[in-house]
Amino acid sequence: MPQVPIERHRLSNGLRVILSPDTSAPIVAVNLWYDVGSKHEQPGKTGFAHLFEHMMFQGSQNVDKGEHFALVQGAGGTLNATTWLDRTNYFETLPSHELELALWLEADRMARLLPAMTQEKLDNQRDVVKNERRWSVDNQPYGDWDEKLQALLYPETHPYHHSTIGSMEDLSAASLADVSRFFATWYAPNNAVVTVAGDFEPAAALAAIERQFGPIPANADLPAAPDMTVEARIGREIRETVQSRVPLPRVYAGYRMPTFGTDAWDALEVAADLLASGRASRLYRSLVRERQLAQDVTVFAFPIVGGASMFVLWATARPAVDHGELERALFGEIERLKNDGPSEEELQRVRNLHASGVESSLERLAERADRLSMYTILFDEPERINTEVSRYEAVDAERVRSAMAETLREDNRVVLTYLPSEEPEAEAEAEARETAGAAVVEEDR
């Protein structure tokens, strides 16, 4: 696979800069990762990282509310942002001659967002986020599974215990002073990386970055990273059953696993693909096609770095299938792979799928820029983008068996089972009307 070109720089204010030129198309991707996510939130102030992602589109000192979108889209570009446990990212893809527009927009809101922040904007975006929670979590079948699983996998004192979107109570209590303090603490050049990928001349791009971001002062009082210490294993099996408005029973399981970037994480990523990637995977073949117990199966490893990551899987029962029978079959297949290990043919199948997926992803400049930012923020090693395939291919059958034996154990397992509730018909109709109403979410960014 072709190597991604990488140039590394650091401005005097601490901003890390990654340049990856590619002249194959006249477009450029600009990507900013801030080293702040839900794990940096304080008790009673959950959801701030995600709320602030919304606030960043409400205008800055030189950019009116909504103008960021208008300027980028008017130049023929696209843009968005996301928030997760370990980070928040912002990104634009534009025609290459509009590179400085994207840099100016990102620098203006990094340096000059606070003067434009108002109570009206906070109230507006707080309501947007609360509606988003209603629509995607509270009124969505199985919508709170990740929130519940995180709370069971991590102790209350751990920064991964709460969800990224936060609680309604904490969102309601957020004050203008709270969010201003959050921005002033974390949105600083020495807590960020900017990546530019695509059609540009590196020296000119670096000069533009220096021009736009160089004058922004660093935060000399940047807090230390939160304490992410947690036991490698839970120490027991934890079970919870949820009676909810779901169409079919679904069994979730979660395990604490080694963090993203470790050899053991790589081995468990391979195990996840062996179990559920594609129709030839073990769980799909056995539970969906042959035994017809499940109508879908999903397995994945969370790429997070805070003390312990999560290995998560679920299976949705077919109509009339008992959830206990589905669970026994699910864990039985995991035990078989753990005990016997994969065949070389199975390993080669998932290696080919993984290599193809990585190569396809890296053809997209936006994805390339995002991965470069990710590896820089999480490991200060953007070069890891060029070892994704080789690290995966180095995993053999013994490494899969060993990693599964260490992690996929009954004393390290959370089992979360969703069962359809038996609501009175009138109550079900009322809940359906509430869900339909909450689904109309006006994201007034």
The predicted-structure confidence for 155-166, as pLDDT tens digits, reads as follows 999 999 999 999
What is the DSSP code string of 74-136?
A: HTT-EEEEEE-SS-EEEEEEEEGGGHHHHHHHHHHHHHHSGGG--HHHHHHHHHHHHHHHIII
| CA–CA distances in Å: residue 277 to residues 80, 285, 353, 424 | 28, 10, 8, 39
Determine the average pLDDT of the residues in 112-131: 94
Determine the average pLDDT of the residues in 111-140: 94
> Confidence band (pLDDT; 50, 70, 90) for 425?
very low
What global pTM score does this model have? 0.93
What is the DSSP code string of 305-370?
A: -SS-EEEEEEEEEPTT--HHHHHHHHHHHHHHHHHH---HHHHHHHHHHHHHHHHHHHTSHHHHHH
The answer to whether residue 429 scores a pLDDT higher than 50 is no
CB atoms within 10 A of CB 300: 17
Amino acid identity of 45? K
Of 326, 334, 305, residue with least CA distance to 410: 334
pLDDT of residue 2: 83
Residues of the chain with pLDDT > 70, as a percent, come to 95
87-91, 175-179, 226-230, range with the lowest pLDDT: 175-179
Pairing verdict, β 413-420 and 238-244: parallel
Structure token pair of residue 19 = 């340049």
> Confidence band (pLDDT; 50, 70, 90) for 445?
very low
Alpha-carbon span 363 to 194, nearest angstrom: 19
User: Domains in the chain, please, with CATH?
Assistant: 7-213 (3.30.830.10), 238-420 (3.30.830.10)
Amino acid identity of 437? G
| Pair 312, 299: CB distance under 8 Å | yes
What is the DSSP code string of 238-294?
A: EEEEEEES-SS-EEEEEEEEPPTTSHHHHHHHHHHHHHHSSTTSHHIIIIIIIS--E
Of 428, 335, 364, 433, residue with least CA distance to 31: 364
pLDDT digits (tens, 9 = 90+) for 261-297: 999 999 999 999 999 999 999 999 999 999 999 999 9
